[in-house]
Structures are given as structure tokens and as C-alpha cells.
Amino acid sequence: MESMMFDSILIVCTGNICRSPIAERILRLNLPDKKIDSAGTIAMVDKPADPGAARVAEKHNLVLSNHRATQFTAELGREYDLILVMEKSHQEQISRVSPETRGKIMLLGHWLGQRDIPDPYRKSHEAFESVYRLIDQACQSWLQKLNG
């Protein structure tokens, strides 16, 4: 990982309607020349972003309105240089589906002391707000490494 040359990044959470769409949009905004997408380990396929996620994103000037949830597959995993996941359990799940991607899976919260980013699904607006802040912090720390 000494040279951070990644042209494509896939961000993975559980349903692909709350956390990964937010992280995807933050990174896309800051890395316009890279291919950045998101998926879920058990995605709610074709569903739009969760209303709570959309609201908190909008408050921070991110648009999730055109997001549609995508299922993570081994084929999808092979298309990306780096796969960022929200929880250690996602690392396990992806490694089972796609053992060959194991070496390129890292936690989004890697630079925040390897921390998991909790799922705000069906929780309060405050939960979404605090998860947004965590995702943003994690993305900013990745951007420093990627642009460094």
C-alpha cells in the first residue's frame, strides 16, 4: 500500500442505500477523474437511497436522488482496484463471495483506528447525522492518502 495509485474504488455496505452511497458521492466529488461506485453485500437491488440518508446528504450538499442499489458480486469486485467496506463483517462476506479480492479490501474507517462505521438504517436523524460525520472523516482521511 506504499503507493496509493487506485483508478477505481468500490464502496460496500449492507443494503447499499445508506452508508456506501454517501461515501461514494463524497469520494466522487473529490476524485472526479476516478471510477467510484458502491454496492451492498445484501443490497436492496434497484432501491433508491434511504430517505434518512438522502436528507442528511442533501444537508451537506450531496445529491443521492439518482442512486440505485447494486448487489456486490465477484465480477463486480474484479472491476475495482480498491474495495472500501464499512464493517469488518463486510470484509468477511466479500472474501467469501470473491476470495481473489481479499487483498484489496480495506475498511473505510482504516485511518480512523480501523473502526467500523455503524449502520443508521431505521434509526434517528441524529444517528444518520453522526454516521455522516464519521463517513466524511473516513473519506477525508482516504483522500489525504490518495492525493498525498
Domain range holding 75? 8-147
β-bridge pairing 35-40 and 8-13 = parallel
Distance of CA 145 to CAs 2, 3, 13, 33, Å?
A: 10, 9, 21, 16
Residues 135, 137: Cα–Cα separation, whole Å: 5
Query: Structurally, how many domains does the chain consist of?
Result: 1
Is 18 an active-site residue? no
Q: Is residue 3 part of a domain?
A: no
Q: Is residue 110 part of a domain?
A: yes
Chain-wide mean pLDDT for the chain?
Answer: 95
Reported pTM:
0.95
Q: Which CATH number does the domain housing residue 137 bear? A: 3.40.50.2300
Residues 136, 133: Cα–Cα separation, whole Å: 5
Contact 35, 133 (CB under 8 A): no
Q: In which band, very low, low, confident or very high, does the pLDDT at 81 lie, cut at 50, 70 and 90?
A: very high
Hunting for cell 443521492 — which residue is that? Answer: 64
Is 96 an active-site residue? no
Kindly report, residue by residue over 9-30, the tens digit of the pLDDT: 999 999 999 999 999 999 999 9
Q: Is residue 78 part of a domain?
A: yes
Contact 90, 41 (CB under 8 A): yes
Is 119 an active-site residue? yes
Kindly report, residue by residue over 37-52, the tens digit of the pLDDT: 999 999 999 999 999 9
Instruction: Write down the pLDDT at residue 4.
Output: 66
Of 18, 19, 25, 37, which is the active-site residue? 19
Of 55, 115, 116, 119, which is the active-site residue? 119
